[in-house]
Each structure stands twice: as structure tokens, then as C-alpha cells.
Structure 1
Amino acid sequence: MAMIKTLIAAALLAASLTPTPQPAPGACAPSTAPPPQSAPPTSVNTLRQAYHCVLDNYYGGPALDTRTLLRNAMSAYTQELMRRGADRGDLRLPALTGNRDTDWAAFAKVLGTGDPAALRAAITGMVAGLQDNHANWIKPEPEEESEPTGTGIVGVSGAYGARLDPATRPPLFITEVLPGSPAAKADVRPGDILVKANGVPAFFGDTVNQSLVDAIGAPGPVRLTLKRPTTGRTRTVEIEPGPLTRPPRAVTSKTLPGGAVYVKLPGFFGGAADQVIAKLQGKPEAVVLDLRGNGGGSPREVTRLLGAFAHGKVTSYFCPFEGDCVPNKTDDSVPLVGARLIVLTDRGCASACDDFSAAVKDNGIGTLVGTRTAGAVSGPGEGYLLDDGSVLVLPKVRHLGPARETIDTVGVPVDHHAPMTALDLATGRDPGVAKALELLREQQ
């Protein structure tokens, strides 16, 4: 469920690796430092900045229709006013022509001084209208509490960013619970099937209830109806959010039966590739690299880790709106491990993880086992600071796989389907690892 925050962090990290051109005057400024702690409220000028920033800096900006951008902004603006019972009788979308400057002038005239909360909704709606999972608006927020709080349920099957994968089919089940959390103290376990949240069913027919994630992450108590797959028992628990302790992100490993090395990589954070490579110093014959739930990170970590398994390969392409695509290649300064590679993926494998998986599959570097990746990948992004202290993150280029195929929204298909089930989690079985071991035995 934390994929969106991971994607934003990955975009900001990638931005630090990309040269920064100067923006158009008065649009927005590249964010090279954290937003100020004290900033004015969101205003019509903030929305103006965001509008011009998207047109000037988003890789697809030259093809955008200003009428669509402003329509999306107005739709979100009026919906926020209606939600609060503050709709205005004189508020309507003006006639727009497709001219960038005259359309904005007409739009701003209708808004007048503007409503700060509705303006924030308008920026959110305008960015969401791009339908790009790496384009995000990070709202100004007060400093985080020194101690995070929540239920401790940090993973559910079908999680796809802040939402649930529309392709998710019953049952929906919990995949991760933080030790010592309120959920753990209530005996909520991985594998427990989510039947209802606050009385609302997890599915309407075969359609997953998207509000379920919001219910679990809401500030107040949540009432969950759970079914334990090992016993069939159904019970209802009420969980009050409390202090949480998150374990540090780190690469872990173990030796599997037959001598293969299993490595769990939770993200392509700085130094992640070298941590994985350090686990392989014994020159194993086979490596099972677990990328399930890996939300992405730095493109440099992807090419460096791929360099441990292959040299001289194109790993992806970064493509501008116009002009030639730029190939990314394996980091051939990394010594080859010389091991057979099996990669475990799922719908939580996103962004840089999509990138890595596509490179493995297209170049024949290894075998993919599990389920199709998230298909939430773009080229490096950049953060742009707006006058209310918020940051707009926009991809500078689009991403294509090594075969110049689109991975975003599609994902990377696996070679061997091995999904995790509720019963697998509840009993400690791992179908992905089991399939990997089966494939390794076949090669002996």
C-alpha cells in the first residue's frame, strides 16, 4: 500500500541524477531542497504555476490540450466545493479555445480569489488527468510525528499503489503485519482473509472495493471481519491505531536446498545493488532474487545489478516527446557472478522493479516466476517547487523496454505463474520459491 510514496521517492531520486534545464519564467522552479516549513496557502497563482509547469516540463506537455487540463481542474474544484456544501451558482467552465494563455486568463477570471482547499483538489485533479502514475503532486504537510502510528497492516493482496488492482479477484487477504503493532496484538496474521472493513464487504460481486485500503489506513479505529484460511473461522476485530516500528530496509539472504542463494531485495535504494552482489561473493551456481513487493528506486541500481548477470545488454530506453530514444545499458564494470538467475515478481513489483524485470526477460538473462509486474514505470522525473511549498513531480522522458515495448500500464509477464494464496501465507508455504527450486532441479 506504500507504493505511491515509493514511486514519488524514486522519481525524486532519479531527478537528482538528471541535468536540470531552466523552466519558463514564472512557471515553477526545480526543487533542489526540501520545501520551506512555512509557506503561504494554496492560491490561484499556485494552480497557475502547476498548469504552466505541466505544459513546460512534463515529457508529454507538447501534446497536451489545455482545455482538457483545465476541465479536469474545474471538475475537481467544483466537486470539492459540493462536498463541503459550498458550491457557487456563478461557477462554470468558461469557453476555452486551446490557446494556453487566453484559456488560463478566462479560467482564472471565473475562479476569482479561489478557495484554498478546492484549489488543492484542482491541482490533484489536473495531475491525475495525465493518467501517469509517476506524475504526482506532493501537498505541503506539517512535519511528521516522531513516532509513526497506524494499525500495522502494511500489505494486502492486490495492492497497487494507494489503491487496489482492479484485476484483483476474491479473496482479498492480508500479506504483511508489523510485529508489535496494534494489528499483531489483535492476532491479525498474514493470510487472514478480509471479508469486511467497517461493515462494507471487500468485494461487490467480483469487483474489489477500492475504499478498503482507505478504511485500513484511516486515523480512527477500523472494524475488520476476517476469515482464517487454516480453520475457516470468521471473527470481527476492532483495531485502534497505535505506535508503529518499521524495520529498516535491508537486503536479506539465505541458502536454499540444493545450494541456490535466495536474496530478498525490498527496493532499488542507493547501494542496493552492491548489497545484493555482496551476498553472492561465494559464486553460487544459482540465485533466486525475490522482487515481490519491490516498489522501485534508482535506475542506476537497476543497471548496476543487471551488470552482475550480463554485460553488453540494453536494459531499457528513455524517450523524449520528440527525437531519438536513449538506450540504457548494463553496468559492465561489475564482475559477472556467473550464476543462473530466477526472479520472483508480483503486482507489487513496480517502477525500477518493472524496469529490471523487463531487462531480464527481454535479454534472456533469467527466468521470471510469480505474477505479472505492476506496470507502473516511467523515465526519471523531476520535482518542481510551487509557491505554497508543495512539489510537483513530473517525468522528463517515457520508458520503453529493451524491445522498445511499453511496460507502463501493461507490466512484464512471467515465464511461470506462481501466485501467493491466503492459505500459502497462513501455512508458511511459498509457491514462488517452490517453483524456482523445481526449475533448478530440472536443470541438474
Structure 2
Amino acid sequence: MIRALCAAVLVTACSMYAPASALASTPATPSATTPGGGCTAITAPPPESAPPTTVNTLRQAYFCVLDNYYSGPAMDPKALLKSAFAAYTQNLMRRGADRADLRLPALTGNRDTDWAAFAKVLGAGDPAALRAAITGMVAGLHDNHARWVRPTPPPEGGPTGTGIVGASAMQGPQLDPAARPPLFITRVLPGSPAAKADIRAGDIVVKVNGMPAFIGDTVNQGLIDAFASGTVRLTLKRPTTGRTRVVELEEGPVTQQPPAVTSRELADGVTYVQLPGFYGGAADQVIAKLQDKPKAVVLDLRGNGGGSPREVTRLLGAFAHGKITSYFCPLKGDCVPNRTDDSVPLLGSRLIVLTDRGCASACEDFSAAVKDNGLGTLIGTRTAGAVSGPSEGYLLDDGSVLLLPRVRHLGPAREIIDTIGVPVDHYAPMTALDLATGRDPGVAKALTLL
């Protein structure tokens, strides 16, 4: 769903824990290889043009995972190669290019000899299938912060998409298997093809390209491929009128403003602040909105896809000092505690945090710190459970980047949040009718508590 909704439909960044090393911009040009033949931490943006993907690129990715991934040194290299080979052959089969002599060689568990046998079978390799193999190998880690990214030039004329930038069944960057019907749109970009077609937040998605949004009570994962195409046919129901209509949407130019903190007064001494992501400078933007030190802050983190752990500890420092916010744990050795940034002056405000299944990664880091340290109240729904650990970027020789966590995230009570999420204190989900009529059950519940 990252690719389908974020790239093809949403045209928005799904940041999770932002890999600062992969996003850094320095004059240095990183080398694509290390003496060991794997990869190197990236210290500058990847090149816009690079050689094609080769067997050597797959070799680099293989050794990069074993050397740099959180559990890489303890991994069975056979599992990595099996995942890569399965994806390689499946790609060939889809293209009608399978080879009769292509079989997985006998593997022993020795990373070097196994790679030599594997590479001999591949021969020169098929570039498209090699790219699929790297994707499959990374997917085999089953880690929501491990990704393989190939740089793509921006489209001529600017970004394109349908303009639908949010859906109720999103769990961080993917479809939520725990989502309950109906599926409805949560946000549409102004001036986009969707907006011009009068698609609004709250519109219920009944079908996508003729496929039902839910099969029974389970969200239809087939929607991923349907949304990935440039044209999509939506059957929509407006909750305020019950009217159902079919809309053909084609990608077109969209304009998306950079993320920004917004605020408004809810009541005397109560300030509402919406934080869309923990991007660089986000904490200070929130704090600037609270200079008057209101008696209570309703911090809306719904749909917040994450970002920098440093922004989390800095913003928490405005509400408490001397607290452990989370732990980063290596495969072996002691976990390292993260702590509130006590250089930030305390606001002295009561804190209420609004969360949903779109609150992922660094957003969950913040939410767990609030809950475990008793810093405030959580309202909404359980968070995404997508917080395995912050990623580091590693450059491969085709200009692509592997994003791999080197440590694992634990909450302040050393609890696992990844795949589970942070539960709320008060359940207040947003419904399609709420969105369509401008009601906000999370804010309403916060005001009753205040």
C-alpha cells in the first residue's frame, strides 16, 4: 500500500522513522562499495542517474543485510537467498521468461559459499528480475522499516495523482487487516482530480474497479493493485444523503503543501494543535503555537506517519523532564534509553493526544511515552504498530538505497509496540458521517474530559 496509495494515488511521503543519514545533504559523494563488498552508509543524496541493476547489486544487498540489519549477524543466509530466488523466478514467470535450468542450488548456511553458488545459477542475471529479487529479499525480513528505494526523477510538470490522500482503512503505510467497514475517504487535496469530481472526506468507497472494498468484514487487499493504476473507477456513497454514484478518476496534476503545524482555540484555555509529522523543526513549531501556555493542549496526531526520534524527545520535553521516552536495543548488549529534552522549558499544560491507526513509527514513540509516563490522556483508536526501529540508509551500486534498522524500538516500560500499537484511554473513532458533517468525536471527548 505504500507504493499504491502513497505513490500512485496519494502522492505523499510515508516517512515513518525518517532515516536522517539517507536524507542528509553534504558535499561528500559516498562510495558504493566497501572493502567487504557490501554497502556503505549513505551520506549524500543518491545519484539521479546510475548503472542498471546487476548481479553485483544483489550481492551488495545480500551482504548489506547480513552486516547491517538489526538481526543480520544472527540470520540464516539461506533464508535471504530463498526469498530473493522466489521473487526472481516469480518475476520471470509473470513475464513469460522462465528458464528451465533455473533452480535454487544446495545451500549450506555459509554466507560466502552460498552466495557463490547462488550467483553461478543466476549467470548474467535479468535486470528486472534482479530488482524483484532485492525487493523480495527485503520483504522477507518482515520489517516495516526495512525498504529498498530506487530514486526516480520527478515527473515533468510536477507531481500527479488522484488527490485522495487518506482512507479510513490505512494502518500507517498499508491497509489495516483489523479495519472495520465501511472504507471511507478521509482527505482530498484541493484542486486535485478527486476534488474536481466532487469527492469529499467522508465519502464511502463501496467498490474499486468493481471490486468490493470489504469481503465480509475484512478489507479487500486487492485494492492495492487497483489503486496502483493511473485510472481508477470508484463506486462512492455519500453518507449524508445515501446517494451512490460511480466516478472515473484519472491521475492529474496535484499540489500538496509542505507539512505544517496548525492550531486553533477550542475553549477558554484549551488549544488544539494538529501535527502531521515529526519532520525536522516540528517540535519547535508546536511549542511556538503554545507560547501563551494554555491550561490544556489537545494534540492531534491522527494520520501522523512518523519522522525523527529527536523531534519526539524535544516535544516531550515541553511536557515533562527527566523521563525515559523509549529504548533503542541492539541485537546484543544493553538497550540505550532515549530521554526527554530537558533544555525545553516546561509548558505546565495538561496534555490530551488524539491517535488513530495512521499514527505510526515516531508518532507511536511519542504516544507510548505519554501513556507510560502518565503525561496525558490518549483518545481515538490504537496506533498502527509500525515502529520496529529507526532506519539507516545504505547505497548500492545502481544508485538505489537500502533502508535497514540497526536497533529495535521498545517503549518506556520496555514493551514491544511494533505490530501491536499503543492502546488509547478513551475509544473515539472517526466515522464517515462525522467527517461528512464536520463532527469530531475525538475533540468532543477531549472537551468533556477537560
Pairwise TM-score range, normalised by the shorter structure: over 0.9
Alignment partner for residue 217 of structure 2, among 174, 185, 206? 206
SS of the equivalent of 2:56 reads: helix
Q: Which amino acid aligns with 1:261?
A: T
Do structure 1's residue 65 and structure 2's residue 76 form an aligned pair?
yes
Q: Distance in 1 between matches of 2:392 and 2:155?
A: 23
Shift of 1:147: 1.1
Is the 2:326–2:412 Cα contact (8 Å) retained in structure 1? yes
> Is the CA contact (8 Å cut-off) linking 2:172 and 2:384 kept in structure 1?
no
Residues of 2 paired with 1:111 and 1:409: CA distance?
Answer: 35
Cα 1:80/1:217, change in 2 over 3 Å: closer
Corresponding residue number in structure 2 for 1:412? 422
Deviation at 1:205, TM superposition (A): 1.7
Q: 1:162 to 1:88 in 2, by over 3 A?
A: farther
Residue identity opposite 2:359 in structure 1: C
Correspondence for 1:6 among 14, 21, 29? 14
CA contact (8 A) 2:352 2:379 kept: yes
Matching of residue 301 in structure 1 with residue 311 in structure 2: yes
Contact 1:15 1:381 in 2 (8 A): no
Which residues in structure 2 correspond to 1:34-433 (within 5 Å)?
34-219=45-230, 221-433=231-443
Offset of residue 121 of structure 1: 0.4
TM-score by length of 1: 0.95
CA distance in structure 2 between the partners assigned to 1:72 and 1:259 by the alignment:
56
Q: Counterpart of 2:293 in 1: which secondary structure?
A: coil
Name the aligned partner's letter for residue 332 of structure 1: D
CA RMSD of aligned residues (A): 1.9
**Once the 2 structures are TM-superposed, how far is the Cα of residue 301 of structure 1 from its aligned partner?**
0.5
Q: Once the two structures are aligned, what percentage of the paired residues are identical?
A: 77
Partner of 2:284: helix, strand, or coil?
A: helix
Deviation at 1:24, TM superposition (A): 5.7
What amino acid maps onto 1:51 in structure 2?
Answer: Y
Q: Determine helix, strand or coil for the equivalent of 1:74.
A: helix
| Equivalent position amino acid for 2:312 in 1 | V
- Residue 62 of structure 1 aligns with an amino acid whose one-letter code is P
Distance in 2 between the 1:402 and 1:351 partners? 15
Q: Secondary structure at the match of 1:6?
A: coil
Aligned letter for 1:100?
R
Deviation at 1:247, TM superposition (A): 2.1
- Give the distance between the partners of 1:216 and 1:107, measured in 2 at CA: 35
Provide the secondary structure at the position in 1 that maps to 2:424: coil
Cα drift, residue 15 of structure 1: 7.8
Superposition misfits of 4+ residues, deviation over 4 angstroms: 13-17
- Conservation of the 8 A alpha-carbon contact between 2:209 and 2:233: yes
Query: What CA deviation, in whole Å up to 9, does each residue of 1:327-375 have, x standing for no partner?
Result: 0000011110001000000011111101000000000000000000111
Aligned partner of residue 142 in structure 1, secondary structure:
coil
> What SS is found at the alignment partner of 1:7?
coil
Match of 2:19, SS state, is: helix
Q: Structure 1, residues 381-415: CA drift from partner, whole Å, max 9, x if none?
A: 21111011100011111110000001111110000
Take 1:217 and 1:119, find their aligned partners in 2: how far apart are those partners? 22
Q: CA deviation at 1:141?
A: 2.3
Aligned to 1:435: 445
How far 1:145 moved relative to its partner?
Answer: 3.3
User: How far apart in 1 are the matches of 2:70 and 2:24?
Assistant: 17
* Equivalent position amino acid for 2:38 in 1: A
Residues 116/164 of structure 1: CA separation in 2 closer, same or farther (3 Å cut): same
CA distance, structure 1, for counterparts of residue 150 and residue 369 of structure 2: 34
Contact residue 165 and residue 189 of structure 2 kept, 8 A: yes
Question: Is contact 1:270-1:298 (8 Å) kept?
Answer: yes
Q: Is the 8 A contact 1:381 1:396 kept in 2?
A: yes
Q: TM-score, normalised by structure 2?
A: 0.93
One-letter amino acid of the counterpart of residue 432, structure 1: G
Instruction: Evaluate the alpha carbon distance shift between residue 233 and residue 176 of structure 1 in structure 2; reply closer, same or farther with a 3 A threshold.
Output: same
1:41 Cα deviation after fit: 0.8
Residue segments in structure 1 that go unaligned for 5+ positions in a row: none
Contact 1:163 1:210 in 2 (8 A): no
In structure 2, distance between residues paired with 1:283 and 1:14: 36
* Aligned-partner residue type, residue 10 of structure 1: A
User: What is the Cα deviation at residue 33 of structure 1?
Assistant: 1.2
* Corresponding letter in the other structure for 1:287: V
User: For residues 35 and 378 of structure 2, what CA distance do their matches in structure 1 show?
Assistant: 44
1:92 aligned counterpart, secondary structure? coil
Contact 2:17 2:309 in 1 (8 A): no
Q: Distance in 1 between matches of 2:256 and 2:423?
A: 31
Cα shift at 1:158 = 1.4
8 Å contact 1:15–1:382 — kept in the other structure?
Answer: no
CA contact (8 A) 1:14 1:299 kept: no
Number of residue-to-residue matches in the alignment? 436
Contact preservation (8 Å) 1:15, 1:380: no
Q: Amino acid of the residue matched to residue 11 of structure 1?
A: P
Q: Give the secondary-structure state (helix, strand or coil) at the position aligned to 2:325.
A: strand
Structure-2 separation of matches of 1:349 and 1:52 = 33
